[in-house]
Amino acid sequence: MDRFGIAIFWSDEDDQFISIAPDLKGCSASGGTYEEALREVQIAKVGWLEVARKHDDPIPQPRWRPDEPTKAG
């Protein structure tokens, strides 16, 4: 699969997990569980890339990466 990063967070307003692919403008999904949100955004990424290729739209280079976790200690 591609190397585009994914961010997942809980939304109190939506009462579900929201998942986004920050490098792919507008590519997002949601789910009732973390796993569901991850699965749905992976599907959305495939669709986003297919549409971009079909229309000869530019595909950005993967750049976004989550911050490294902080180490307690």
Q: Which residue has the tokens 């749905």?
A: 40
For the stretch 1-39, pLDDT in tens is 478 999 999 999 999 999 999 999 999 999 999 999 999
Q: Where are the alpha helices (DSSP H) in 9-33?
A: none
pTM: 0.83
**Residue 10: what pLDDT?**
97
What span, in angstroms and rounded, lies between the C-alpha atoms of 70 and 2?
A: 26
CA angle 31, 37, 38 (to 5 degrees): 165
In this structure, how many other beta carbons lie within 10 angstroms of the beta carbon of residue 7? Answer: 13
Model confidence pLDDT, tens digit, residues 41-62: 999 999 999 999 999 999 999 9
SS3 59: coil
Confidence of residue 68 (pLDDT cuts 50, 70, 90): low
Judge contact between 9 and 18, C-beta under 8 A. Answer: yes
